[in-house]
Structure 1
Amino acid sequence: MTLTTPALLFPAISLLLLAYTNRFLVLAQLIRELNAREGKTNRPVVLAQIDNLKKRIKLIRAMQVWGVFSFLLCTLSMFSLFIEQQLPGIILFGVSLCCLTLSLIISLYEIHISCDAIEIELQNIEKKPID
């Protein structure tokens, strides 16, 4: 394995971490808007959304943690290969790929939960009276 093999993951991991950060920022903005809109009382639909938002924040944190671990291990893999330590470099790269895979699986689950949040909103819209 050459130094360029783990280097190929650098742009992918960087973009993935950027996407995770954007998801977090959108979620934070949504929470702030929800808090401002609801005032002192919460409707039942908002309570359902709050549970969903809490889960999603935890999942995004986990996605970011595993993504950063992947990035760090990929960097250590490149360093190992740079100093001509093939076996540690290969092992670190393999573990980096595992961390990246875990991050992506968590991301997939977070997307599923995000769709549940949209479903809650749609159900709330359906309950409104027709003019």
Structure 2
Amino acid sequence: MELNLTTPALLFPAISLLFLSYTNKFLALASLIRNLHGEFKKHPDNLHIKGQMENLRRRMILIKHMQGAGIVSFICCVLVMFLLHMGKYQLGFILFGISLLALLISLVICLAEIKISIDALELQVSEMED
């Protein structure tokens, strides 16, 4: 299989869109935490708020890791293009595989974060139904 400059360049728009999605997740989470912090200051004994904070902390960690893996993927793509430009095709091919693996890890972490988010929403919906 031949690897040329256009192959890693194809990942740039995908990774950019992922980062837009990850940034939106981060901003929504930050807003939720700020709102919950205001509620916590008013009602520090509320166990429901403390439970939500644990959930949000897990989501923050996952978002940090999925953004980190995405950044590694993006950096590897840039390096692959540089290596291909320099004629280092074998090393570029290996690094491209690492870039794809980092992107896959980022997506799997994103899936885990979505599951936690959905579980929290399901809990709130079931509380409203009771």
How far did 1:42 drift? 4.0
The one-letter amino acid paired with 2:128 is I
The ranges of structure 1 where at least 4 consecutive aligned residues each deviate by more than 6 angstroms after the TM superposition are: none
Structure 2 partner of 1:28: 30
Count how many residue pairs are aligned between Structure 1 and Structure 2. 127
Look up the SS of the partner of 2:4 in the other structure.
Answer: coil
1:49–1:120: 8 Å Cα contact kept in structure 2?
A: no
TM-score using structure 2 length: 0.92
Structure 2 partner of 1:124: 127
- Further displaced range: 82-91 or 116-125: 116-125
Structure 2 partner of 1:37: 39
How far did 1:50 drift? 1.0
Structure 2 partner of 1:99: 102
The one-letter amino acid paired with 1:26 is A
How far did 1:54 drift? 0.4
Match of 2:51 among 38, 43, 48: 48
Match of 1:14 among 16, 41, 49: 16
Look up the SS of the partner of 1:41 in the other structure.
Answer: coil
Q: Distance between the aligned counterparts of 1:24 and 1:44, measured in 2?
A: 24
1:115–1:104 CA distance, 2 compared to 1 (3 A):
same
Report sequence identity in percent.
49
Structure 2 partner of 1:59: 62
How well do the aligned residues superpose, as a CA RMSD in angstroms?
Answer: 1.2
Q: Which structure 1 segments of 5+ residues have no match?
A: none
